[in-house]
Structure 1
Amino acid sequence: MDPVTTTLAATAASTLVQAMTTDAWTFTLNKVAAVFGGGTTVQELEQARGQVVDHQELGPMVEQEWRGRLTRYLVTHPEAVEQLRAVLDEIAPDTGQNGNTYGGDHIDFSHGTFKGPVTGKSVHHSPDGGPGGPAR
């Protein structure tokens, strides 16, 4: 089996189950159901969502179930690979180079004056944008 297909299916299943308990559910449901052609899939996804919402411990099992369904669908409908990839690009959070999302605050204290110790992290960049040069 193509590892690209299985990886795509795993990512889609994870994204799908994570969205089940968020405000993004309806949007995600419609996009993923469109890949399958809608219909029965919408009902099955809503049923799965109900299970995850009512019993969070079922999340990994629901994810595994949809990973298998997505893999089987992509193997038998290879034209859906690009469609699912486009859906994921639309609904999945933007990640950095290492795959981590950043959810913290950035506070710029440049040109600030402090009357005591400051705890934090200083990052310096060289003129070409790499680490190690003077701070900007």
Structure 2
Amino acid sequence: MEAELTALAASGATTFVGLMATEAWSQVRGRLARVLGRGEGDEVIDAELEESRAELAAARAEGDQQAAADIEAAWRNRLRRTLRADPAAAEELRAVLEELAPQQYSGPAVAINHNTISGGHYNAPVIMAQWVDDGVRSTPRRGPGDA
């Protein structure tokens, strides 16, 4: 059970610290304060979260990776203590993390297609793609009857 709580606390801290620099933070901050405060002292925890957010922004601006890692470690430890003290907090934290999962940016989506060309000689590269974008924006094409 301890390993599960440690993993949940680590996941929560990574998620929340990652979201501190996004637009979603304003929605997440209050929920995290409720998980940590368990109904008591939410305002104090909310202020601590905002202080951490400001410290994180400053650390990232200065390129101080260690300070950013320290902020995440502090919240990981805080979450772990909360989860140990109140098992109901674990379910609430899981629910918050499940709701946030779609909001997290996981990088570009990659689709793998396997295409085969047969029956001919090709003396140049053959490109098969869903789309090819050179970064140049053009005006949309107009079809017949478009005004």
TM-score by length of 1: 0.70
Tell me the equivalent position of 2:95: 86
**Cα shift at 1:28:** 1.4
**Cα shift at 1:94:** 7.1
Q: Which runs of 5+ in 2 are unaligned?
A: 114-123, 130-147
Tell me the equivalent position of 2:43: 39
1:61 aligns with 2:74: no
Tell me the equivalent position of 1:75: 84
What's the Cα RMSD here?
2.9
1:103 aligns with 2:115: no
CA distance in 2, matches of 1:105, 1:85: 28
Q: Deviations over 1:20-68 (max 9, x none)?
A: 1111111111121121232211000000000001112221110000000
The change in CA–CA distance for 1:24 and 1:94 in structure 2 (over 3 A counts) is: closer
The change in CA–CA distance for 1:93 and 1:39 in structure 2 (over 3 A counts) is: same
CA distance in 2, matches of 1:70, 1:64: 10
Structure having the higher helix fraction is 2
**Cα shift at 1:101:** 3.5
Aligned residues: 111
Q: Percent identity?
A: 34
Q: Which has the larger radius of gyration?
A: 2
Higher relative contact order (CA 8 A, sep 6+): 2
Please say if residues 13 and 67 of structure 1, whose CA atoms lie closer than 8 Å, have aligned partners that are also in contact. yes
Please say if residues 94 and 101 of structure 1, whose CA atoms lie closer than 8 Å, have aligned partners that are also in contact. no
Moved over 6 A (4+): none
Tell me the equivalent position of 2:143: none
TM-score by length of 2: 0.65
